[in-house]
Structure 1
Amino acid sequence: MSVSNPTLITFVIYIAAMVLIGLMAYRSTNNLSDYILGGRSLGSVVTALSAGASDMSGWLLMGLPGAIYMSGLSESWIAIGLIVGAYLNWLFVAGRLRVQTEHNGDALTLPDYFSSRFEDNSGLLRIISAVVILVFFTIYCASGIVAGARLFESTFGMSYETALWAGAAATIAYTFIGGFLAVSWTDTVQATLMIFALILTPIIVLIATGGVDTTFAAIELKDASNFDMLKGTTFIGIISLMGWGLGYFGQPHILARFMAADSVKSIAKARRISMTWMILCLVGTCAVGFFGIAYFSAHPDVAGPVAENPERVFIELAKLLFNPWIAGVLLSAILAAVMSTLSCQLLVCSSALTEDFYKAFLRKGASQMELVWVGRAMVLLVAVVAILIASNPENRVLGLVSYAWAGFGAAFGPVVLISVLWKGMTRNGALAGILVGAITVVVWKHFSIWGLYEIIPGFILGALAIYFVSKAGSPSAAMVSRFEAADKAFKVGH
């Protein structure tokens, strides 16, 4: 295994630190609420940074810089869409979901919340939403494992099979041991590492290429259209990229952070911290790809790996421009991005299996510690399935991330958004919204209509289904009074 020692040592120290945090969190985990939601005890900084880190996976340091390196600024529309979507999610959903889940049976998971909010005694809402979570998240987890394996493979020259297990093992370890608190505390460390890497790297690349003027001149010389935001785009293309922002309203691993905040008062401060972090990270990641064009056109002798795979642009710049110890820290940031998202997804799948199947249907009287251990077993089960999906290196799993994001955004987004804003929504409306949203995504993706990203029609049709089906019935008096009590608590706390 060809490996530069400083990089390997940095990785080992970093992974050991994450597992240590897992062990510390283990001591604070006494019941299922602690394991799944950290006992609703997250302050604004941890809420903000863990929401950001769980959202931004390996694509932040690999996929997006690679796309900008290849095509220029026209690829940055997705970043603009994500910033708008994330801000609206914090503004309209975060605080309201925090109080609504508390007022509706102190719900720990999204299926649990839907079930209590709409008084669904049949269990149908819970089962359908838990199945949607398991199907889409197992695909999502597999994509994270592939990204981790690619990092270990390229950094340490491991075989893909070895890299697969090495990349997944550390994340599984601290999620298994410490649950939600471990995931949230490690996310905070990982978010700090990511922003450090994404602010420092573009500055050093700028210095190495001779400053702003020289860098921009070199990029223009290579291809002036790199500066054109509209290069090669169409109206449908821009709308599709911006449409990624709609996905935020339905992502269970991000919504779980809002549910776990210590109070609604923490949300406004958390929103400011999270949005600042996100904007700096996205600007940094676009700058890495963009300035990389100038660096590699000035140094064609070292451009081979990037020409072969543009997604390596951040990895190669870190190796070429930094002392091996600093490079190790910067490369750990990619691992941080992968691990932070993967750990949240494993935990959401585990909580769906534990809370929404095992406790709801198999063992209603299970003790808290039994449920925590079932939760841990489910983390292992989902991880093994995800590793099996990822074990074929030819799998186009990373392409399925956009599919999973659209699936959640369209199936859950309208239901979550409307359920916290409108007291007239009914159980049948929620069921119709989930089914219409999910089915639209599958059908639209299959027929690839107009080249439009499937989340947009899925979200719109899901929202319309909720409205019209809810209008055909009416919520019970108890549902309305719980909604009004939660809404009042939100306004007082806000």
Structure 2
Amino acid sequence: MSVSNPTLITFVIYIAAMVLIGFMAYRSTNNLSDYILGGRSLGSVVTALSAGASDMSGWLLMGLPGAIYMSGLSESWIAIGLIVGAYLNWLFVAGRLRVQTEHNGDALTLPDYFSSRFEDKSGLLRIISAVVILVFFTIYCASGIVAGARLFESTFGMSYETALWAGAAATIAYTFVGGFLAVSWTDTVQATLMIFALILTPIIVLLATGGVDTTFLAIEAKNPDNFNMLKNTTFIGIISLMGWGLGYFGQPHILARFMAADSVKSIAKARRISMTWMILCLGGTVAVGFFGIAYFSAHPEVAGPVTENHERVFIELAKLLFNPWIAGVLLSAILAAVMSTLSCQLLVCSSALTEDFYKTFLRKNASQIELVWVGRAMVLLVALIAIAMAANPENRVLGLVSYAWAGFGAAFGPVVLISVMWKGMTRNGALAGILVGAITVIVWKHFSLLGLYEIIPGFIFASLAIYFVSKLGAPTAGMVERFDAAEKDYNLNK
């Protein structure tokens, strides 16, 4: 690995810029609300792009293009499901959650919101939801660290151990120092870099393969079924892929962006920006994998790395078709995707440990400065545990991402969605929803029932549990009063 390597220099400049943003955010972080939610000060552009970037991890530039390259357009159902799910989340949850968290004790985290919304004096709701967050997100963080390590390993020829620390260090640094504002500001830069890479790359691949007609003929010649969206699919398979969209309602790192918006008025504009960004990114991702079929069919002599690992299709196209400096920028987009998601997950874990355990049960009267430093310590602790989990490259951590997505989607999705839409929901209904959703996902995954993605039965059963258990009791007058006040606030300002 030469120090003059343009890709390496580009990576170093990019990482240095992210850490610098972290130190800029440090100056705006005065209390725990600033560290966890940026003092609820995000404008519509930052809200939109940070929500998008925190969602789209390394799979956007590695996993999905690789799947399209291998199987054609039949793998694009997941992209359709994600777009529909994200839009519905913005439409029904974003604005309402923003006002509901403010009206319910100015809640900073999801467990904090559940506890205040349902007047849970026992602390049980807070503890169970915080534990769900910690378990699933530590696995999620480990998968992000593995993805970053793989990128450094394949790009610079580092050993896996060195790549592990190189990939994680910068993300830990700016999250540790700057908290939520650093994460959100860097997400905005990272989202811009990702969309640049995913619009430019397919256009250049298309030109390199002779234009649209020649490219499509080459893809068809390779395998006519590449154009068939129903190839090797079943009804259950399509529903399972589309079902990924249900996960959006329960992802704490995405919901935190809604809670941090400066006002409900920002949400509608943020929704339009975020959905445009998402559609362009997912379209570009599908195009990279699809046009890559034509390029590597025409150039079999350079197809070796992609044949060996189809998830390298974006990396190899960037290296082959672009000047090394531009390639460095494009490959930084993969790092951006990994870092943006990992940083959000680290911060949500830190928030759960600081707000929902330390402040609630250990130091109720802790000063704001103390809580911010505890938050920073928790970022470090979770990161070190995740690095330890990721240390063995044979660990199938990446395979657990769909499991964690389903876990959050089923355990929290129905609770969040119904809690902002229905004032008749009770504390026991919320508790039943979280438990039934999480248990269904675990059982369904273990037995692989019907070949159906576990988020779908988990979401359905959790929703039914919330409704029927809530009907056995009744919300208190205070819960109804706060719900009505928040709903009125939302309707006046949306």
Q: Residue 3 and residue 286 in structure 1: after superposition, are their counterparts in 2 closer, same or farther (change >3 A)?
A: farther
8 Å Cα contact 2:114-2:126 kept in structure 1: yes
Partner of 1:423, secondary structure, is: coil
8 Å Cα contact 2:25-2:181 kept in structure 1: yes
**2:54 paired residue number:** 54
Q: Residue 459 and residue 22 in structure 1: after superposition, are their counterparts in 2 closer, same or farther (change >3 A)?
A: same
What do the CA deviations read for 1:242-271 (whole angstroms, capped 9, x no partner)? Answer: 000000000000000000000000000000
Shift of 1:4: 6.2
Q: How many angstroms apart in 2 are the aligned matches of 1:3 and 1:425?
A: 60
**2:39 paired residue number:** 39
Shift of 1:442: 0.2
8 Å Cα contact 1:62-1:314 kept in structure 2: yes
Shift of 1:3: 6.8
What do the CA deviations read for 1:31-71 (whole angstroms, capped 9, x no partner)? Answer: 00000000000000000000000000000000000000000
8 Å Cα contact 1:3-1:155 kept in structure 2: no
Q: How many angstroms apart in 1 are the aligned matches of 2:276 and 2:99?
A: 25
Shift of 1:25: 0.1
8 Å Cα contact 1:261-1:267 kept in structure 2: yes
8 Å Cα contact 1:175-1:182 kept in structure 2: yes
8 Å Cα contact 2:74-2:230 kept in structure 1: yes
8 Å Cα contact 2:32-2:368 kept in structure 1: yes
Shift of 1:290: 0.1
Shift of 1:300: 0.3
**1:86 paired residue number:** 86
Shift of 1:375: 0.1
Q: How many angstroms apart in 1 are the aligned matches of 2:235 and 2:398?
A: 25
Q: How many angstroms apart in 2 are the aligned matches of 1:199 and 1:23?
A: 31
Per the normalisation by structure 1, the TM-score is 1.00
8 Å Cα contact 1:3-1:157 kept in structure 2: no
Gaps of 5+ in 2: none
Per the normalisation by structure 2, the TM-score is 1.00
Gaps of 5+ in 1: none
**2:131 paired residue number:** 131
8 Å Cα contact 2:201-2:288 kept in structure 1: yes
Q: How many angstroms apart in 2 are the aligned matches of 1:437 and 1:263?
A: 31
What do the CA deviations read for 1:261-305 (whole angstroms, capped 9, x no partner)? Answer: 000000000000000000000000000000000000000000000
Shift of 1:163: 0.2
Q: Residue 105 and residue 137 in structure 1: after superposition, are their counterparts in 2 closer, same or farther (change >3 A)?
A: same
8 Å Cα contact 1:2-1:157 kept in structure 2: no
Aligned alpha-carbon RMSD (Å): 0.6
Partner of 1:90, secondary structure, is: helix
Shift of 1:165: 0.3
What do the CA deviations read for 1:76-111 (whole angstroms, capped 9, x no partner)? Answer: 000000000000000000000000000000000000
8 Å Cα contact 2:76-2:286 kept in structure 1: yes
Shift of 1:2: 5.6
Q: How many angstroms apart in 1 are the aligned matches of 2:430 and 2:489?
A: 23
Shift of 1:354: 0.1
Q: How many angstroms apart in 1 are the aligned matches of 2:353 and 2:470?
A: 29
Q: How many angstroms apart in 2 are the aligned matches of 1:478 and 1:122?
A: 17
Partner of 1:152, secondary structure, is: helix
8 Å Cα contact 2:3-2:9 kept in structure 1: no
8 Å Cα contact 2:195-2:277 kept in structure 1: yes
What do the CA deviations read for 1:357-409 (whole angstroms, capped 9, x no partner)? Answer: 00000000000000000000000000000001111101111110000000000
Shift of 1:209: 0.3
Q: How many angstroms apart in 1 are the aligned matches of 2:63 and 2:385?
A: 24
8 Å Cα contact 1:3-1:156 kept in structure 2: no
8 Å Cα contact 1:111-1:129 kept in structure 2: yes
Greater shift in the superposed pair: 3-12 or 477-486: 3-12
**1:97 paired residue number:** 97
Q: How many angstroms apart in 2 are the aligned matches of 1:80 and 1:389?
A: 32
Residues 273-284 of structure 1 aligned to structure 2 (within 5 Å)? 273-284=273-284
Shift of 1:116: 0.2
Partner of 1:346, secondary structure, is: helix
What do the CA deviations read for 1:296-335 (whole angstroms, capped 9, x no partner)? Answer: 0000000000000000000000000000000000000000
Q: How many angstroms apart in 1 are the aligned matches of 2:424 and 2:218?
A: 58
What do the CA deviations read for 1:130-156 (whole angstroms, capped 9, x no partner)? Answer: 000000000000000000000000000
Identity in percent: 91
What do the CA deviations read for 1:224-250 (whole angstroms, capped 9, x no partner)? Answer: 000000000000000000000000000
Shift of 1:419: 0.1
8 Å Cα contact 2:176-2:380 kept in structure 1: yes
Partner of 1:232, secondary structure, is: coil
**2:292 paired residue number:** 292
8 Å Cα contact 1:58-1:144 kept in structure 2: yes
- Is 1:213 the counterpart of 2:213 in the alignment? yes
Shift of 1:455: 0.2
Q: How many angstroms apart in 1 are the aligned matches of 2:402 and 2:389?
A: 17
Q: Residue 3 and residue 455 in structure 1: after superposition, are their counterparts in 2 closer, same or farther (change >3 A)?
A: farther
Partner of 2:398, secondary structure, is: coil
What do the CA deviations read for 1:166-218 (whole angstroms, capped 9, x no partner)? Answer: 00000000000000000000000000000000000000000000000000000
- Is 1:442 the counterpart of 2:416 in the alignment? no
Q: How many angstroms apart in 1 are the aligned matches of 2:227 and 2:461?
A: 36
Residues 356-367 of structure 1 aligned to structure 2 (within 5 Å)? 356-367=356-367
Deviating above 4 A after TM superposition, structure 1's stretches of 4 or more consecutive aligned residues are none
Shift of 1:5: 1.1
**Would you say how many aligned residue pairs link Structure 1 and Structure 2?**
494
Q: How many angstroms apart in 2 are the aligned matches of 1:206 and 1:428?
A: 56
8 Å Cα contact 1:4-1:324 kept in structure 2: no
Partner of 1:108, secondary structure, is: coil
